[in-house]
C-alpha cells in the first residue's frame, strides 16, 4: 500500500493553518507522502501566500484553488471526491493539530480495517462526549486501540476510495429518512447546507456501517472561530497522543466497543459479556434518548419508567454498561418489555443522578435549576 496523501481544506484562517502546518512539520511522517491543499474560492490572501511558500519536505505539494464558492458542505464533498484520483486520503481541516505519531496510526488502522466493508470512514479524533446529552462518552474497554460508532465525525479523517464511492452512490439515491428510522431527530431534521455529518451519520445507520475512532486522539481541534462558531471554543479539545502507538488491532467482529448512533453499545456486543440477556430481543437505551415508538424489539433496557421491570440495575460502575454486565442491583436501569415502558424523557430525579454520576457528584446550582425547570415543563405538558 502506498502512503496516503494528506489533503488540507483551507479558507479564511491563516493563523490556524500556520499552526496545523507547524504540527505536520514536527510529526513523524515517512517519505513519499504528498500534500494537497484545497483552497476555497475567495480565500484569505495570507492563506494563499502561506500555501504557496510552504516547503513540504515529505513529498510533492499540490495546490488546488477553487474557481467558484463551494461552501462548507460543497468543499468537503470536493475534497472527498479526490479519492477517485488519489485513492485513500488523510483529510484535515485548518483548525486541527496533529500528534507526532498520527501518521503511524493512519498506516496501522488502514492495515487493520482498510478493507472492512462495515467501516464507512475513519476519524483521527477520540470523540469524548455524547452530543445529545452533552455528557462524557467512554466506550467500554475491550483491549482494542480503536472503537466504533455510527456517528460521522470530523476533526481529522481517513477515507478510502471504496468508502467514499459507497457514500456517494448512496447520496445519489437518497430520498430522505424513513419515518420510522431509529435515529435521533436532531440528526434527521437538519439542512444539508449547514453541515454534512448528520447526513453522513444517516448513511452509516441506513447501511449498517460505522466510523472507526482511536482511543487516543491522533488529531485535536482548537475550535477556532469560523463557519460554525462566531467565537473560539475549547469544548472540543482533548488530549493528543504524543508518540506513535504500537498495538494489535482486533478483527471488527471480535471488538466489543461497537456503538449505534445513540452512543449505545450494540446488543450482540453487550450479550458477549451479559449471558443473562442472551435469547432476548432487546434494545439498548442506557442514555434514555431513543424514541420508543420507533423501536421494533420486544425488550428494552432503559432508565425510563417501567411499570413491570423484569430486572433492575444501579448506576455505579463505569462505563455504565458494566452495571448491566455485572448485574449490579439498583433502581436506575430497568429491563422489561417495551410495552411496559413510558415514552418521553428520563425523570428529573434520574437526570440529577446521571449528572452526579458523570460529574462525580459535583452538580452546580445552575444545572439543578435547569433540570428542575425541564421537569416542571414536562409535568405541565403531561397535565
**pLDDT at position 189:** 76
If you average pLDDT over residues 57-80, what whole number do you get?
A: 96
- pLDDT for 383 equals 43
CA 220/CA 68 separation, integer angstroms: 30
Predicted local distance difference test score (pLDDT) of residue 360: 80
Chain segment 277-310, per-residue pLDDT in tens: 999 999 999 999 999 999 999 999 999 999 999 9
Query: Residues with Cβ < 8 Å from 208, sequence gap 6 or more?
Result: 118
How confident is residue 154, by pLDDT bands cut at 50, 70 and 90? confident
Nearest to 4 by CA among 85, 100, 106: 106
Measured CA angle at 24 (ends 61, 95), to 5 deg = 100
Beta strand 299-302 pairing with 282-284: parallel
User: How deeply is 286 buried, as exposed, middle or buried, from its count of CB atoms within 10 A (0-12, 13-18, 19+)?
Assistant: buried
Percent of the chain with pLDDT over 90: 80
**pLDDT score recorded for residue 292:** 97
Hey, what CATH topology would domain 6-259 get? Spore Coat Polysaccharide Biosynthesis Protein SpsA; Chain A (3.90.550)
β-strand partners of 217 = 240
- Which residue in 367, 330, 366, 332 sits closest to 349, CA to CA? 332
pLDDT band, residue 377 (cuts 50/70/90):
low
Lookup: cell for 84: 477517485
Mean pLDDT to the nearest integer, 162-168: 98
Provide the pLDDT confidence category of residue 232 given band limits of 50, 70 and 90: confident
- In the predicted model, what is the mean pLDDT of residues 29-36? 97
**Domain coordinates in residue numbering, the chain:** 6-259, 267-340, 348-382
Measured distance CA(71)–CA(55) in Å, rounded: 28
Q: Which residues pair with 213 in a beta bridge?
A: 147
346-368 per-position pLDDT tens digit: 998 999 899 999 988 665 656 66
Scanning the chain, the segments in alpha helix (DSSP H) are: 14-26, 45-53, 71-81, 83-86, 102-113, 161-173, 185-188, 197-207, 267-270, 321-325, 348-358, 365-382
Any idea which residue has 448512533 for its cell?
261
Amino acid at each position: 500500500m502506498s502512503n496516503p496523501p494528506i489533503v488540507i481544506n483551507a479558507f479564511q484562517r491563516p493563523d490556524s493553518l500556520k499552526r496545523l502546518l507547524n504540527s505536520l512539520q514536527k510529526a513523524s511522517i515517512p517519505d513519499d507522502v504528498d500534500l494537497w491543499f484545497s483552497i476555497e474560492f475567495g480565500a484569505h490572501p495570507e492563506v494563499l501566500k502561506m500555501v504557496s511558500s510552504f516547503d513540504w519536505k515529505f513529498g510533492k505539494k499540490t495546490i488546488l484553488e477553487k474557481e467558484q464558492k463551494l461552501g462548507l458542505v460543497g468543499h468537503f464533498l470536493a475534497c472527498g471526491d479526490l479519492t477517485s484520483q488519489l485513492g485513500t486520503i488523510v483529510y484535515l481541516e485548518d483548525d486541527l493539530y496533529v500528534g507526532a505519531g498520527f501518521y503511524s496510526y493512519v498506516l496501522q488502522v488502514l492495515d487493520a480495517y482498510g478493507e472492512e466493508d462495515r467501516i464507512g470512514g475513519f476519524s483521527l479524533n477520540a470523540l469524548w462526549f455524547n452530543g445529545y446529552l452533552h455528557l462524557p462518552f467512554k466506550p467500554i474497554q475491550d483491549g482494542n486501540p480503536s472503537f466504533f460508532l455510527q456517528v460521522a465525525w470530523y476533526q481529522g479523517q481517513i477515507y478510502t476510495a471504496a468508502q467514499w464511492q459507497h457514500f456517494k452512490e448512496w447520496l445519489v439515491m437518497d430520498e430522505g429518512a424513513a419515518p420510522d428510522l431509529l435515529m435521533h431527530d436532531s440528526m434527521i431534521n437538519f439542512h444539508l447546507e449547514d453541515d454534512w455529518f448528520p447526513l453522513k451519520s444517516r448513511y452509516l445507520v441506513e447501511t449498517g456501517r460505522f466510523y472507526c475512532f482511536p482511543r487516543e486522539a491522533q488529531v485535536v481541534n482548537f475550535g477556532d472561530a469560523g463557519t460554525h462558531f462566531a467565537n473560539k471554543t475549547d469544548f472540543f479539545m482533548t488530549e493528543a497522543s504524543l508518540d506513535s502507538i504500537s498495538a494489535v488491532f482486533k478483527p471488527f467482529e471480535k471488538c466489543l466497543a461497537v456503538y449505534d448512533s445513540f452512543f449505545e453499545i450494540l446488543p450482540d456486543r453487550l450479550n458477549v459479556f451479559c449471558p443473562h440477556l442472551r435469547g432476548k430481543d432487546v434494545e439498548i437505551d442506557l442514555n434514555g434518548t431513543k424514541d420508543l415508538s420507533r423501536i421494533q424489539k420486544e425488550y428494552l433496557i432503559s432508565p425510563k419508567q417501567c411499570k413491570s421491570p423484569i430486572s433492575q440495575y444501579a448506576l455505579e460502575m463505569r462505563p455504565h454498561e458494566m452495571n448491566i454486565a455485572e448485574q449490579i442491583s439498583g433502581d436506575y436501569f430497568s429491563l422489561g418489555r417495551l410495552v411496559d415502558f413510558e415514552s418521553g424523557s428520563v425523570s428529573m430525579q434520574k437526570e440529577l443522578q446521571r449528572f452526579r454520576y458523570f460529574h462525580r457528584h459535583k452538580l452546580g446550582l445552575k444545572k439543578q435549576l435547569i433540570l428542575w425547570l425541564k421537569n416542571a415543563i414536562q409535568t405541565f405538558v403531561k397535565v
